[in-house]
Structure 1
Amino acid sequence: MRRILMRYRAFLAALLAFGVLFLVNRELGMEALDITTFSLKEMLMVIPPIFVLLGLLDMWVPRETMVRYMGEESGFKGVLLAFLIGSAAAGPLYGAFPVAAVFMKKGVKFSNILIFIGAWSTTKIPLLIFEMTSLGLQFALTRLLVNIPGIILIAMLLSSFLSKKELDTIYASAEQLNMG
């Protein structure tokens, strides 16, 4: 029982906070509940399709193919592919992390995974189109041209800061996840 309580302590703390909020300010508590319900519904609309696609990726794309195109020796091709996949992705950023875990299981180079996450968060095609129509072509292209080298630089720096042992630990953790 104690183990279950420890595992779900963050959820239980949030539940307790909701209870206290309802007691202190019922209107604010209802608003918080509405926001939480909306967020849960949104997640339930996004997460299942991502996991279906991850299952297909995990089953249909051999590890050797992923290593060849995005692994340690992939070079510019891996960086470009990481950017393209991340930029073409749909959905909120939390959808990128299960994909990154499958990439790790498939032997994708760590810096390419970081580039993929960076591209997912900042260079999505729908975001670029929105910026072009709302903020102008010059702004959208300037932001994109600043972000691309920034993402690559950050990915390379973060990768260089990690030791081989730390990377092996991260990849081993991803291998233990049961995705798809």
Structure 2
Amino acid sequence: MKKLKRYRFFFILLLALLVTTLVNQTTAIKAVQLTGKSIFDMLLLLPPIFLLVGLLDQWVKKETLIRYMGEKSGIYGIFLTLLLATVAAGPLYIAFPIAVLLLKKGASVRYMVFFLGAWSTVKLPVLVYEFTSFGPRFTLIHICFGLVFYYLTGILFEKVYSKQKILKYDLKQEV
């Protein structure tokens, strides 16, 4: 029973797909095709990211990371986090393994929340698109408000959650 409970969300989605198939087969076929494409894309992106995370784990010394992204890194932590997020490529789910690695190496919770938010806001392709589509004024306002919001959210997370609590969380404990 515990095994079934673990996959309850999957079964709910499977049931929804079955109902959709009964109502409209064309929509169900499109849903299955989109799901397959998304899974394929994810399977292409995740192995290189895990390889990169493994290499970063070996190459970056814990002391160095603590100095530049630790609790007392100050403005260096903000700029390094912003730089990492700006040059990032790929969807947001790629950022999570990187964030976990950086947390394990001693980075502050504040900077990891800021990193995840900045990843979705200030990537170079996103900036170029916003600048050309919406103009410099919108882009500047969006970036400034977004970064301030993510930094303040990071401070809040740091006060509510300890790094150990975040790293200890295990999905197996939930089941």
Normalised-by-shorter TM-score class = 0.7 to 0.9
Deviations 1:105-149 (A, max 9, x none): 111111011111111011111111111122222222222222222
> What is the root-mean-square deviation of aligned Cα atoms in Å?
2.0
Q: Quote the residue 1:15 is aligned against.
A: 14
Does the CA contact (< 8 Å) of 2:108 and 2:163 recur in 1? no
Q: Which moved more, 1:124-133 or 1:135-144?
A: 135-144
2:169 corresponds to 1:170 = no
Q: Quote the residue 2:108 is aligned against.
A: 109
Measured in 2, the distance between the counterparts of 1:51 and 1:12 equals 28
How much has 1:49 moved relative to structure 2?
Answer: 2.0
How much has 1:70 moved relative to structure 2?
Answer: 0.7
How much has 1:66 moved relative to structure 2?
Answer: 1.2
Does the CA contact (< 8 Å) of 2:92 and 2:119 recur in 1? yes
The two structures have a TM-score, normalised by structure 2, of 0.87
Moved over 6 A (4+): none
Measured in 1, the distance between the counterparts of 2:46 and 2:67 equals 28
| Structure 2: 5+ residue stretches without partners | 171-175
Q: Quote the residue 1:83 is aligned against.
A: 82
| Structure 1: 5+ residue stretches without partners | 175-180
Deviations 1:72-127 (A, max 9, x none): 12111111111111121111111111111111111111101111111101111111
Does the CA contact (< 8 Å) of 2:103 and 2:163 recur in 1? no
Aligned residue pairs, count: 171
Paired-residue identity, %: 42
Q: Quote the residue 1:157 is aligned against.
A: 156
Measured in 1, the distance between the counterparts of 2:50 and 2:148 equals 30
Measured in 1, the distance between the counterparts of 2:168 and 2:3 equals 25
